[in-house]
Chains A and B, each alone.
Chain A
């Protein structure tokens, strides 16, 4: 990467940003379609199948519909904050993709402190939710926002600690370096999921809780507070919250493989299986697809947790495990139990 001082480089960077952002938005639409389809199959239904082949264009029809709906501003709502909130939700959700590598070298910004930037962007996401709840001047929205905010910050602690465990082993805050640290001759047993097995689960479950997905979606809780923080939102303002939520789910499905499952490394690395042992972006996308589908599976399978159970899981189960595993990971690293890199 170079400075954006030269206009050509500026344009080139802009083009790269669009190459990430536009497919991301399309991926969100496809992900929504895939979610409805998978849940449909799990319920022994067809899922969307009318618009386009296999209903593929359903999500785009939905987006168009959302865009031409009226944006309702409730009376007594704080108009300025009412429109700032969805922006604050969507900006970090998109900007965090600047540091996600898709292959060795295929990254917009190879900043040193990638993991720290990730943490910074995740911690910003909570503002959109609190402000949406407060600005719409509605009881349900406020209740949902408070629950959601407390839940998100609780699980951010466990997420941060899981990241710390990865850093201890990798010795770097850079995502590309973290993936390369998982390279080796033992195939998938060189990846970090093995030495950090409990943290892998802690990270994944915290990620689900952080994105307010089922079974942790008390923030929405359709059956009690109807839709939580965005109950008063409609039209394109609602679409932004939707975009942010699904972009964050896709992010989680990329980060779990990058941090724990070797990113673009092949699960057969070092086993001399020819093409199968070669690293490549297709491995990362395959892993992403599995994780993204698992999030849908969770939604179709589990009933909603109660709020006290969620808080208990975060504070009384995950935090002790995380603290203990920081000790363990430190010892692993000190005594060179885990081989790092080639």
Chain B
């Protein structure tokens, strides 16, 4: 068994898992299972990218999509208490539309790949450079503007997240750590000067006297 065959076997295995998991996403009844199937799809896709020697993209896919986006999905799906049955009713009805959209997307992608193969010779990795270095160099020399636009989009995303999801409670008990640390003893405790000892009132003295 040589190296090329091993790669082919891995490719087929990951591809089958990716497609199978993608089918499971739209067909399983339990929404949490569906989200996990989507996680598996992403993970297999990352493995495929790794086989294509796109090291950074593969790991970034795991970090960003599996590690962050799908966690949000899981939060939403788990906690929203969705009633599962009505969600299933539209499945057959929308199936033709879904298949139509999928076919169009497939044609588009094939078109792009077809045009690309006509124009650019394959092999993005120049010799002696790791994938990440190559990507970084490209990103920070040729794609300056898109990079800054990405920053802008992220900032807009932050604002949008707050606008959409932030609900400030009207009644809440909240601590102010700055105020807590600023507290000094003088503000809380009043020191009172008193004599260390005072003469006790009558009866006790009498008792002690009688004992002695």
Q: Could you tell me which A residues sit within 8 Å of B by CB distance?
A: 3-5, 78, 80-81, 84, 111-113, 116-117, 119-120, 122-124, 126-127, 130-131, 134, 146, 149, 153, 156, 173, 308-309, 312
Taken residue by residue from 34 to 67, chain B's Cβ proximity to chain A (1 for < 8 Å, 0 otherwise) reads as 0010010000000000000001100110110011
Interface hits, B1-47 → A, CB 8 Å: 1-3, 5-6, 30, 32-33, 36, 39
Q: B71 to A126, Cβ gap below 8 A?
A: yes
What are 14 A-B contacts with C-beta separation under 8 Å?
A80-B33, A81-B36, A112-B130, A119-B67, A123-B67, A124-B62, A124-B66, A130-B71, A130-B78, A131-B32, A131-B36, A134-B32, A149-B71, A312-B177
| A68 vs B55: C-alpha distance when bound (angstroms) | 43
CB-CB nearest in chain A for B46: A120
Q: When the two chains form their complex, are residues A173 and B132 in contact, meaning their CB atoms are under 8 A apart?
A: yes
| A303 CB, min distance to chain B CBs, angstroms | 16
Q: Give the CA-CA distance A117 to B131 in the complex, in Å.
A: 14
**In the complex, which residues of chain B have a beta carbon less than 8 angstroms from the beta carbon of A124?**
62, 66-67
The reply to whether B32 and A3 form a contact with Cβ atoms under 8 Å apart is: no
Q: Is the CB of A113 within 8 A of B55?
A: yes
CA distance A274 to B180 in the complex (A): 53
* Known contacts A5-B6, A120-B63, A131-B36, then 20 further A-B pairs from the complex at CB < 8 Å, ordered by chain A residue: A5-B1, A78-B30, A81-B32, A113-B56, A116-B132, A120-B66, A120-B67, A122-B67, A123-B67, A124-B62, A124-B67, A127-B39, A127-B71, A127-B74, A130-B71, A130-B75, A131-B32, A149-B71, A173-B132, A308-B175
Contact call A113/B132, Cβ cutoff below 8 A: yes
B112 located at the interface, meaning its Cβ lies under 8 Å from any Cβ of chain A in the complex:
no
- The 8 Å CB contact of B62, one of A120, A173, A309, is A120
Q: How big is chain B's contact interface, by range?
A: 20 to 34
A120-B62, A124-B62, A124-B67 are contacts. A112–B55 as well, Cβ < 8 Å? Answer: yes
Q: Which residues of A contact B174 (CB under 8 A)?
A: 308
B68 interface residue, CB < 8 Å from A? yes
Contacts of B2 in A (CB 8 A): 5
Residues of A within 8 A of B63 (CB): 116, 119-120, 123
Contact B3 A3 (CB under 8 A): yes
Report chain B residues within 8 Å CB of A119.
59, 63, 67
Tell me the minimal C-beta distance from B43 to chain A in angstroms: 9
Distance A205 CA – B141 CA, assembled complex (angstroms): 36
Q: Shortest Cβ distance from A311 into chain B, in angstroms? A: 12
